[in-house]
Amino acid sequence: MSQDISHILSSWPYDPDELSVRVVAGDDGKSRIQVRLDLGVLQLEMDGRPDGLRPEGSESWLDHFLQRQRDHDAAHPDSAAFQLSSDDCAFLQREGVQYYHRYLSFWHLEMFELCARDTARNLRLFRFVHDHARYERDKLAFDQWRPYVTMMHARAVATPLVRLGQHEAALRALQVGIDGIRAYLDEYGQTEQADQCAELVQLEKLYAHVAAQHAPGAEPDPSAERMHALQKELDQAISQEAFEEAARLRDEIRKLSDNGP
């Protein structure tokens, strides 16, 4: 069997302006996600670790280290707490990036519940590293992404609820996200910069929009469509590690939010 994937690439052209993602049926009958990249195709499992591996026999490195932490605490209740080394954190960080690619794919495929599952998973990862990493630099390498993943999780939970007309439940989910980001800013002494946090601005804007939809006789926010388009562009820029473009888009989102009702 040929290992050349040219026929796949030629039948699925790469679009640098759009995240190209699809669900395909594997040879074993299981569905998988494929993401078209400029130099090939990224394939992800729908469940478990995205690359399908089982490190040390566990579903993921996170599960492996969680079990090690539980075993340590049970065996040494009066000794020093379990700690993650920098090498441990490197395994966890590479794995977390895999889940990032998958939850972003789920978002664009409008598989919101699965996006919420994977964002919740990475938030648990951040908390575990925050609580157990030996070095502060390792904690910050993960925790810097907490506002973004919190925002994505809140959106993934709220969006299907809005579509089902369950606006109050959607507002509660968005408020949890808003509170989570504000707690993060307070934890790092950045409360005064809250209006410069793009993730918080977007969630508050979305909250206002959903609340307006829920209010009897209220007109929808005319800027919502533009905000949604900008957010898609931001997600695409981050997935391609185009961080200068991502910064520009965050500024545009912030300006749109500042000019909104």
Contact assessment for residue 130 and residue 139, using Cβ atoms and an 8 Å cutoff: yes
Q: Which residues pair with 34 in a beta bridge?
A: 22, 43
pLDDT attached to residue 254: 65
Mean pLDDT of 7-15: 91
Give me the phi and psi of 223, to 5 degrees please: -90, 0
- Between 231 and 10, residue with greater pLDDT: 10
Question: 3-class SS at 82?
Answer: coil
The number of beta carbons lying within 10 Å of the beta carbon of residue 43 is 14
Question: 3-class SS at 231?
Answer: helix
Question: 3-class SS at 24?
Answer: strand
To 10 degrees, what angle do helices 198-214 and 224-239 make? 150
Mean pLDDT of 132-144: 97
Digit-coded pLDDT (tens) for 55-111: 999 999 999 999 999 999 999 888 888 999 999 999 999 999 999 999 999 999 999
Percentage of the chain modeled with pLDDT above 90: 70
Residue 247: pLDDT band (50, 70, 90) is low
pLDDT attached to residue 2: 81
CA-to-CA separations, 179 to 182, 218, 246, in angstroms, rounded = 5, 26, 24
Tokens standing for residue 176: 């949890």
147 pLDDT above the threshold of 70: yes
Residue 242: pLDDT band (50, 70, 90) is low
Mean pLDDT of 111-130: 97
Contact assessment for residue 178 and residue 194, using Cβ atoms and an 8 Å cutoff: no
Residue 78: alpha-carbon gap to chain centroid: 37
Digit-coded pLDDT (tens) for 156-188: 999 999 988 889 999 999 999 999 999 999 999
CA–CA separation, 126 and 143 (whole Å): 6
CA–CA separation, 65 and 29 (whole Å): 32
Runs of H (alpha helix) within 80-197: 86-108, 112-132, 136-143, 146-163, 167-187
45 pLDDT above the threshold of 80: yes
The number of beta carbons lying within 10 Å of the beta carbon of residue 5 is 10
pLDDT attached to residue 261: 40
pLDDT attached to residue 110: 93
